[in-house]
Amino acid sequence: MRIGIGYDVHKLVKDRKLILGGIEFDYEYGLLGHSDADVLVHAIMDAILGAMNLADIGNLFPDTDPKYKDIYSINLLDRVVELMEERNYKIGNIDTVIICEMPKISPKRLEIQEMIAKHLKTDIENVSIKASTSEKLSFTGRGEGIEARAVVLLEKID
């Protein structure tokens, strides 16, 4: 078994779509980034890569490469899953948290959980998606950005 942790944060701005866990939210702000800036998927990818002792997503998918400009992060997650399978690992379980004041995550939590489980090629019971506020503290509390954390347990496939 291997354990990995991932973290990501992006600034909220006007005139961008808000994508979290591969799901679009109807919200007046979106996340600023080279890709779609999906903080949840980015945290999950870094957790998986860390568990395998590989470089982070910034090295694997550099923001200096135009082919990743505005890319749907779920497509990048699919590549990370390929790397995981090439090394004979599968998801044991994953636990995540999205930290933001708005939008409310709970109405789309199950949809996100289903999307992530599908792309991780695992049962939905192995994917925990949680949300929390920062009680109006820090940049997330002021509505300036969204952050996500993920912990993953990888199991070796015999």
- How many angstroms separate the first and last alpha carbons of the chain? 12
123 is in an annotated binding site: no
Query: In the structure encoding, which two tokens stand for residue 102, read together?
Result: 């708005």
Report the pLDDT value the prediction gives residue 158, as an integer from 0 to 100.
83
Q: Which of 109, 41, 103 shows the shortest CA–CA distance to 78?
A: 41
61 is in an annotated binding site: yes
134 is in an annotated binding site: yes
Question: Where along the chain do its domains lie?
Answer: 2-156
Output the CATH code of domain 2-156: 3.30.1330.50
What is the pTM for the complete model shown? 0.96
pLDDT tens readout for residues 106-128: 999 999 999 999 999 999 999 99
pLDDT at 96 over 90: yes
133 is in an annotated binding site: yes
In the chain, % of residues over pLDDT 90: 96
pLDDT tens readout for residues 133-149: 999 989 999 999 999 99
